[in-house]
Structure 1
Amino acid sequence: MPEAESVEPILVDRTAGIGWIRLNRPRQINALSLALRSDFCTALAELQADRDVHVIVISGNGERGFCAGADIKEFAEVHSLTEARQARAVVSWSAAMERVTKPIIAAIHGYCLGGGLEIALGCDIRMASPDAVFGLPEITLGQIPGGGGTQRLARIIGLGRAMDMVLTAERMSALEAKSCGLVTRVSESRDALEYDVRTLASALASRGSAALAFAKEATKASTDVDLPSGLRLEGDLFTLLMSTPERMAAAKAFQNKSNRAPLPLTAAVAGG
């Protein structure tokens, strides 16, 4: 039997439209215990339902890393394949992340391995410190990534690079991760990471929640549907936003600003 957690495995904070989920098993590099998985799913559902939260950030406590993956001690011995399958179904954090319509940002430092990388892959924006290290070591343990790694990674960095990472279990540095699109932003230092993440999250939280949700939905759909279907979805969502109070207020503010000053040559004009 796994030992009971001596601390809360997940810490949740809400401030200024941002819901922050911190993985909180620093002595184990935030390894994914069953308790952490369950609390993580609960936290995601609660933040999704909270109308005052517009953006979610996921980070890991402790100096050593974001998350080192599954807690091997809990999964070393399998008594029943049926029980193992049922346990995964009950605490499927991968599925829980798919149900979130709000933008999710991963703030990654240190080790981001196995299930930790799979959590990051489930986020919409991945930001890292220069010391971040990425990898999927499951093949060295006679297993394959089971939290979305084989599916999401190829969609993000391409089939060839993903196949290399999955089959070789070789690790990737923060700069390598940025070069292939695994992360989109690398902060100047670990200390700067939380500031940079909070600044971006605050900017997103200040925007219309419906527009954020629809933009996320349409962009994610682009990897799953053909172009005509994607364009129809984009057009439908664009039209639905036309009547929202947030959109009309933004348009009025833009019009008032334009009436006071010449429109810059680089100003974008909404399509449709």
Structure 2
Amino acid sequence: MSEPVLLEIADAVAWITLNRPEAMNALNTATRDALPKAIRAAEADPAVRVIVLRGAGERAFCAGADIKEFVEVPSPAEYRQSRVHDSWIRAFDETRKPIVASIHGICLGGGLEIALACDIRIAAEDALIGLPETGLGIMTGVGGSQRLPRVVGLGLALDMMLTGDRLSAARSREIGLVTRVVPRAELHAATAALAAHLAARPPMAMALAKEAVRAAMDLPLREGMRLEVDLLTLLLNTEDRLEAARAFREKRKPRFSGR
């Protein structure tokens, strides 16, 4: 049996692949166990500066939860308790490195929830994106109801969740659900170019900028601005900041060390 999640590292980029193409990369127990391990391994590797998440095969990024595992009805108390300790999606929030979702084909339910947990979403023109859970008598369970309104706003989030409509890549870009759309044949190259661009930038500045923007979703403006100044103060003393200044004066490309 093939591994449900693959991790490949090349040129400072960790490529994490959901690897169940025969099931449109649906999330089963094995995938939910393996995915956070791959993310945390990439986060811990000093050679990695950017993480990319993608789906294997031609049909889907991720079709959501594997319905085959939804056979028995769990006790509500047992299910609630199990999810309290289910931290697999938290791996995304704990990662300081940029995470890019490279989306093609079907991206539904848990697949979209994973993409929402990433920092940047780039989609192929053939992507179909949505949250169909309410039509199955359930709802999102790993952050979709919380992350989606933060990305597209309350009205659009309610529209998507209550109707279960699938959005095209073009429509997804219109509402800010994805920020880049490319032809299907160009998705890998465009993702690789984006990842290379991110990897070439100073890692500490990237990490702290990500922290500040993420915190803005939860903090009052005054507290957020205080955090911004604190993080900027830390960056002023980094070697990479000094290297950027030297490179600018010397009219050359900077060589960032991550220090």
TM-score when scaled to structure 1? 0.89
Match of 2:257 in 1: none
Aligned pairs (5 A) from 1:256-271? 256-257=250-251
1:15 corresponds to 2:6: no
1:75 corresponds to 2:70: yes
1:151 corresponds to 2:146: yes
Relative to structure 1, is the Cα distance of residues 13 and 120 closer, same or farther in structure 2, using a 3 angstrom cutoff? same
1:247 corresponds to 2:241: yes
Match of 2:129 in 1: 134
For residue 92 of structure 1, report the CA deviation from its aligned partner.
Answer: 3.0
- Among 232, 241, 258, the alignment partner of 1:238 is 232
Aligned pairs (5 A) from 1:18-37? 18-37=13-32
Mapped to 2, the partners of 1:27 and 1:87 lie a distance apart of: 28
Mapped to 2, the partners of 1:257 and 1:136 lie a distance apart of: 48
- Among 188, 194, 201, the alignment partner of 1:200 is 194
For residue 117 of structure 2, what is the amino acid of its counterpart?
Answer: G
For residue 229 of structure 1, report the CA deviation from its aligned partner.
Answer: 1.0
- Among 211, 216, 223, the alignment partner of 1:217 is 211
8 Å CA contact retained: 1:65, 1:110: yes
For residue 192 of structure 1, what is the amino acid of its counterpart?
Answer: E
Mapped to 1, the partners of 2:20 and 2:83 lie a distance apart of: 20
For residue 65 of structure 1, what is the amino acid of its counterpart?
Answer: A
Across the aligned residues of Structure 1 and Structure 2, the Cα RMSD in angstroms comes to 1.3
Gapped runs of 5+ residues in structure 2?
Answer: 253-259
- Among 78, 89, 96, the alignment partner of 1:101 is 96
Match of 1:116 in 2: 111
Relative to structure 1, is the Cα distance of residues 229 and 79 closer, same or farther in structure 2, using a 3 angstrom cutoff? closer
Aligned pairs (5 A) from 1:40-59? 40-59=35-54
Please give the secondary structure, in 2, of the residue aligned with 1:93: coil
For residue 224 of structure 1, report the CA deviation from its aligned partner.
Answer: 1.2
Which digits, 9 at most, give the CA deviation of each residue in 1:213-271, with x for residues without a partner? 0010011111211111111111111110111111111111112229xxxxxxxxxxxxx
For residue 25 of structure 1, report the CA deviation from its aligned partner.
Answer: 0.2
Mapped to 2, the partners of 1:14 and 1:223 lie a distance apart of: 31
Mapped to 2, the partners of 1:219 and 1:18 lie a distance apart of: 22
For residue 90 of structure 1, report the CA deviation from its aligned partner.
Answer: 4.9
Matched residues, number: 252
Which digits, 9 at most, give the CA deviation of each residue in 1:97-124, with x for residues without a partner? 1111110000000000000000000000
The percent identity for this pair of structures is 52
Please give the secondary structure, in 2, of the residue aligned with 1:14: strand
For residue 81 of structure 1, report the CA deviation from its aligned partner.
Answer: 3.5
For residue 18 of structure 1, what is the amino acid of its counterpart?
Answer: V
8 Å CA contact retained: 1:34, 1:91: no
For residue 84 of structure 1, report the CA deviation from its aligned partner.
Answer: 3.0
Please give the secondary structure, in 2, of the residue aligned with 1:235: helix
Please give the secondary structure, in 1, of the residue aligned with 2:251: helix
Mapped to 2, the partners of 1:130 and 1:22 lie a distance apart of: 20
Which digits, 9 at most, give the CA deviation of each residue in 1:49-70, with x for residues without a partner? 1111111000000111100000
